[in-house]
Amino acid sequence: MAEYILPLEKLIEQFRHLPGIGQKTAVRLAFAVLDFTDDEANAFANAIRGAKENVKTCSICQNISDGELCPVCADENRDRSVICVVEDAKAVMSIEKVREYTGVYHVLHGSISPMAGIGPDKLRIPELLSRLTADVREIIIATNPTVEGEATAMYLTKLIKPLGIKVSRLAYGIPVGGDLEYADEVTLMRALEGRRLM
Ligand code: ZN
């Protein structure tokens, strides 16, 4: 016999699909939903359906968008000669928050991971290559500092550099407020590689 009655069990199961949600939290969330009024429950269900139906990908940069173009690509003032390549839409939001970057983006929707069976063919790389016109002078590769992110950066560099376009990689290093003593070897190595003249 299941621990919970079937409709509740089904709801718990759905919450468990979400990242960072374990059994305990899923149970807590499912009980919270049970306490919803009918209107609240409908609003919740409609928000999920609406997000799935109305969030598309930008036809240029592949970022999530509610229209044909995302806000960045629709902005006339952005510098289209610099393209920052990221793994996902969350990275775009992080960089936009800094308000320092004036170029445009390209969202790959993942990174190369042979372990997970994700090859370059699963990423939005053809869409990126089709954007590399004579007007593009720099590609900033801002994939994550993980094994997959590095593999993706290497792959893209090999593809793009021969085209005569400058390829740069985000510098990674010691976090602000961090202590050298506690930095791991890879972080320290990256920080050394990414050092700059004062
Ligand atoms: Zn876009």
| 101 C-alpha to ligand 1 centroid (Å) | 15
Cα(106) to ligand 1 centroid in Å equals 7
CA of 152 to the centre of ligand 1 (A): 21
- Give the model's pLDDT for residue 190: 82
Mean pLDDT of the region 68-78: 96
Q: What is the pLDDT of residue 193?
A: 83
- Ligand 1 centroid vs 45 CA: distance in angstroms? 28
Q: How far is the CA of 168 from the centre of ligand 1 (A)?
A: 21
Selection from 91, 96, 92, 108 nearest residue 156 by Cα: 108
Average pLDDT over residues 158-168: 95
**Average of per-residue pLDDT across 26-37:** 97
Torsion sign (Cα): 116, 121, 125, 114: positive
Task: Determine which helix (DSSP H) or strand (DSSP E) holds 64, and give its type and residue range.
Answer: strand 64-65
Find how far residue 147's CA is from the centre of its chain. 16
Number of neighbouring beta carbons within 10 Å of residue 142 = 22
Q: How far is the CA of 160 from the centre of ligand 1 (A)?
A: 20
Q: Choose the most confident range, by mean pLDDT, from 69-73, 118-122, 175-179.
A: 69-73
